[in-house]
């Protein structure tokens, strides 16, 4: 990045020195270790949408390459950047995490850092050794199973997957759909209705369901979409699936609120840095390309059609970064940021899609080439307008808060 970047250290707002140090460390790692791998990664059939970053990384490169990256991530501590200090993490604030993740999203190549769902820190007793610790160390992979065929935007009111107590077990029956990474997961964080009358107000429970449970069936090869050459989302069936009572995550009846905690931070707020990294890269590419691409005797950077797109991109990046930093700081102060996270997701996906669309247009035919990461980035960011709750739902969440008594 050069000093024309919206990320340049100027203006009224300045990141604290310690966060700048972390940001620069992440940026250096990306520039020196990750970016050189991108041309080969883009040629790989596994360079799909980043729902399964670690899986994609291991499939795309030889073992010696991934082993080297994993070793460096562990040795530098970057592997644990989103892990609390109490569990071996780097003692990073939410703001610091957002700033660093943005750097790693600058390239198409997935950086190997562990993504532990925040709700998994509710593990107790044997759950810690069986699920939490292996997840932190990258030895086990999870997936989040909430969405159902007829319960996407209204999971609390329309969820049909049920759990009935039978002795010391819970028996689950139902179907989940659009479950990202289910086929690769070692366990599924599954929401089920335990009290049909209370539903999301105390009647939905979160269960840790082992992938190899005989009551679990995952339809393969999965659901084909435009996001990549291989399916990344799946339909999951629970048929008289017996789950021991010690596999309840948190408290019985509190599973819906746990799901909302996961969605707030690890889905909606995280869309901010995930989009920003791609937007920033696209902007930097457009600045360089527009200066060297000549049509009718002069660079396209001198043409108003290009300049206005660059201005729009710059404005979107600057505005989104400002919103994200404020909301992350408010989360650090202990504020409930569910509504603010909805705004981050909405802006990140809407503005990110527009930014990537401008970038592809500025590059012309080259923008559609798989030699560049722009179309991959576009699919990645455009999906954010749907995944994790559509932007219509995010607007509903925000409007409901604005109009409350």
Q: What is the pLDDT of residues 257-312, one digit of tens each?
A: 999 988 888 889 999 999 999 999 999 999 999 999 999 999 999 999 999 999 99
Question: Which residue in this structure is represented by tokens 């920003």?
Answer: 276
Q: Point out the least confidently predicted range of 48-52, 140-144, 168-172.
A: 48-52
Query: Measured between alpha carbons, how far is 398 from 386 in angstroms, rounded to an integer?
Result: 16
Contact between residue 189 and residue 238 where contact means Cβ atoms under 8 Å apart: no
Q: Which two tokens stand for residue 76?
A: 């530098």
Q: What is the mean pLDDT of residues 89-102?
A: 94
Give which of 153, 196, 199, 207 is closest to 178, Cα–Cα. 153
pLDDT of residue 11: 44
pLDDT of residue 12: 46
pLDDT of residue 49: 67
pLDDT tens for each residue of 140-162: 999 999 999 987 778 888 999 99
Q: What is the mean pLDDT of residues 329-358?
A: 96
Query: Measured between alpha carbons, how far is 61 from 108 in angstroms, rounded to an integer?
Result: 13
Q: What is the mean pLDDT of residues 52-73?
A: 88
For strands 169-180 and 233-244, give the pairing. antiparallel
Does residue 240 come out as left (phi exceeding 0), alpha (psi in the -120 to 50 range) or beta? left
Architecture of domain 142-249: Beta Barrel (2.40)
Domain coordinates of the chain in residue numbers?
142-249, 262-402
- The 3-state secondary structure of 74-95, one letter per residue: HHHCHHHCCCCHHHCCCCCCHH
For 341, half-sphere exposure in the C-beta direction (CA atoms, 13 angstrom radius) is: 22
pLDDT tens for each residue of 374-404: 999 999 999 999 988 899 999 999 999 999 9
Per-residue b/e over 360-370, b at no fewer than 16 CB within 10 Å?
bebbeeebeee
Query: What residue spans of 238-383 are helical by DSSP H?
Result: 255-262, 271-292, 304-332, 338-363, 374-383
Q: What is the mean pLDDT of residues 22-32?
A: 94
pLDDT of residue 5: 53
pLDDT tens for each residue of 234-256: 999 999 999 999 999 999 999 99
pTM: 0.93
Architecture of domain 262-402: Up-down Bundle (1.20)
Burial (Cβ within 10 Å: 0-12, 13-18, ≥19) of residue 38: middle
């Amino acid at each position: 990045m050069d000093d024309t970047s919206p990320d340049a250290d100027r203006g009224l707002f300045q990141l604290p020195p310690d966060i700048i140090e972390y940001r620069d460390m992440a940026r250096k790692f990306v520039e020196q270790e990750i970016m050189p791998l991108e041309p080969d990664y883009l040629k790989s059939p596994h360079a799909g949408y980043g729902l399964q970053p670690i899986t994609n990384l291991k499939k795309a490169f030889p073992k010696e390459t991934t082993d080297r990256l994993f070793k460096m991530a562990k040795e530098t501590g970057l592997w644990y950047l989103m892990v609390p200090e109490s569990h071996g993490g780097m003692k990073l604030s939410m703001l610091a995490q957002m700033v660093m993740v943005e750097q790693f999203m600058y390239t198409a190549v997935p950086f190997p850092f562990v993504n532990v769902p925040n709700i998994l820190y509710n593990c107790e007793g044997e759950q810690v050794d069986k699920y939490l610790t292996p997840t932190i160390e990258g030895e086990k992979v999870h997936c989040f199973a909430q969405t159902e065929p007829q319960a996407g935007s209204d999971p609390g009111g329309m969820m049909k997957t049920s759990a009935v107590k039978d002795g010391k077990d819970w028996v689950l029956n139902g179907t989940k759909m659009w479950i990202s990474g289910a086929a690769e997961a070692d366990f599924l964080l599954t929401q089920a209705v335990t009290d049909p009358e209370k539903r999301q107000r105390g009647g939905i429970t979160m269960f840790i369901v082992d992938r190899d449970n005989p009551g679990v069936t995952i339809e393969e090869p999965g659901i084909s979409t435009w996001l990549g050459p291989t399916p990344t989302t799946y339909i999951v069936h629970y048929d008289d699936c017996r789950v021991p009572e010690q596999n309840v995550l948190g408290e019985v009846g509190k599973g819906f609120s746990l799901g909302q905690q996961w969605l707030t931070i690890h889905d909606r707020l995280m869309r901010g840095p995930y989009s920003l990294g791609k937007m920033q890269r696209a902007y930097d590419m457009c600045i360089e390309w527009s200066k060297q691409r000549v049509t009718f005797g002069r660079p396209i950077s001198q043409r108003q059609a290009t300049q206005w797109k660059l201005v729009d991109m710059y404005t979107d990046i600057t505005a989104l970064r400002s919103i994200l930093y404020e909301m992350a700081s408010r989360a650090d102060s202990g504020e409930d940021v569910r509504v603010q996270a909805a705004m981050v997701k909405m802006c990140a996906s809407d503005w990110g899609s527009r930014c990537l669309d401008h970038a592809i247009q500025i590059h012309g035919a080259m923008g559609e080439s798989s030699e560049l990461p722009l179309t991959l980035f576009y699919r990645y960011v455009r999906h954010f307008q749907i995944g994790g709750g559509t932007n219509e739902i995010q607007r509903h969440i925000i409007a409901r808060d604005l109009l409350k008594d």
